[in-house]
Amino acid sequence: MTDVFLPELGEGIDKATVSYWYFREGQVVKEGEDLVEVSTDKATFNIPAPAGGLLAEILIQEGDTVNSGEPLAIIDESQAAEAEKDESV
Amino acid sequence: MKQPKTFPAYRVVDLGRIDFLSALAIQKKILQEVIQRASSDTIIFCEHPATITLGRLAREDNILAKRDLLNDLGIPVVDIDRGGDVTLHSWGQLVVYPIFNLVNHGRDLKKFLFNLEQVVIDFLQYFGIKGERRMGFTGVWIGNKKIASIGIGVRKWVTFHGIAININNDLDYFSFIRPCGMDVEMTSLNKICGREVGLGEAEKIMANCFKQIFYFKDGGSHD
């Protein structure tokens, strides 16, 4: 399991609003793919998936705020291979 | 031994008069090139016909005009993936899209937005006008009137969208919206300056201000 965290966006920015999820729970993401967009007052910022796998749980919904160091989602790497196998059938 | 590809520190692309969505498509193409390091930092200059854009967290009710009226006038309303609320473009407003790799300029969104404000402040200084920041509100003001709006998007630490600064545009259009979600009066360079400033002249000065702020002051390293 890998948690997706809000990265350091700059000095004095300690929170952001989740503005767009590119994937839904249960979908498979590849490492580095844009997973979620967060917004500060005047900027949007895409957070890439830190690992490939199943998007097991979205912890912060669109419109809600996430603080620095707080997890946004959980990726289950162990299910990635299974999901890919299913897709190829 | 294979030499790494090298690029100039930045390049300027002048799209001239272009509709918003066509310019957005070009922005996104260049964004991908900069992300893949197939292109250097790029400053796009252009102007758009009357268009209202809504940032990601914009409130629809900050558009004050009735949709029927906007339709009749042929003013599109576009939802876009930048930060900030509602803004309006029209001919005579200089739109600047800096597509910069922030890996080379410090990975700091606040610093980048501060530097964009500084570019506008330095630009106004050239015309003998004192532009100011307002604590907590990104953008540039002259007294209690706003002249420039700023909102960006960032993908893989590369920026897009940017600055809209009023040069000689018709300010009456702003009555259709609550700019950036605020009850604020807008002004333009020509109104303050008392002389006709063309977009071509404004672009040259703005490009030089970018050069000073991003390539001499912040000490960034460039491929």
Closest-approach residue (CA) in chain A for B116: A42
B155 touches chain A (CB under 8 A): yes
Q: With an 8 Å Cβ cutoff, are A34 and B155 in contact?
A: yes
More confident residue, A88 or B42: B42
Give yes or no: B209 in active site: no
pLDDT at position B115 is 96
Confidence of residue B169 (pLDDT cuts 50, 70, 90): very high
Closest-approach residue (CA) in chain B for A33: B156
Mutant choice from A13, A19, A41 vs B, greatest count of B C-beta within 10 A = A41
Chain B hits for A46, CB-CB cut-off 8 Å, are 154-156
Chain B hits for A12, CB-CB cut-off 8 Å, are 110
Sheet hosting strand A2-5, strand order edge to edge = A2-5, A71-76, A53-58, A28-29
* ipTM, interface predicted TM-score of the complex: 0.86
Q: With an 8 Å Cβ cutoff, are B83 and A11 in contact?
A: no
B135 touches chain A (CB under 8 A): no
pLDDT at B183 over 60: yes
pLDDT in tens, B42-86: 999 999 999 999 998 888 999 999 999 999 999 999 999 998 899
CA angle B106, B107, B111 (to 5 degrees): 70
* Contacts for B34 with CB less than 8 Å, ≥ 6 apart: B40, B41, B42, B99, B100, B101, B158
Task: Flag the least confident range among A26-40, B3-17, B51-65, B192-206.
Answer: B3-17
**Which residues are A67's β-sheet partners?**
A15
Closest-approach residue (CA) in chain B for A43: B83
Chain A hits for B160, CB-CB cut-off 8 Å, are none
Residues above pLDDT 90, as percent of chain B: 80
Assigned token pair, A86: 């299913």
Residue B97 CA neighbour count, 13 Å, CB half: 26
B150: nearest CB among A39, A42, A44: A42
CA angle B61, B67, B71 (to 5 degrees): 150
pLDDT at position B120 is 98
A37 touches chain B (CB under 8 A): yes
pLDDT at A89 over 50: no
d(C-alpha B89, C-alpha B176), whole Å: 11
pLDDT in tens, B100-156: 999 999 999 999 999 999 999 999 999 999 999 998 889 999 999 999 999 999 999
pLDDT in tens, A21-75: 999 999 999 999 999 999 998 999 999 999 999 999 999 999 999 998 899 999 9
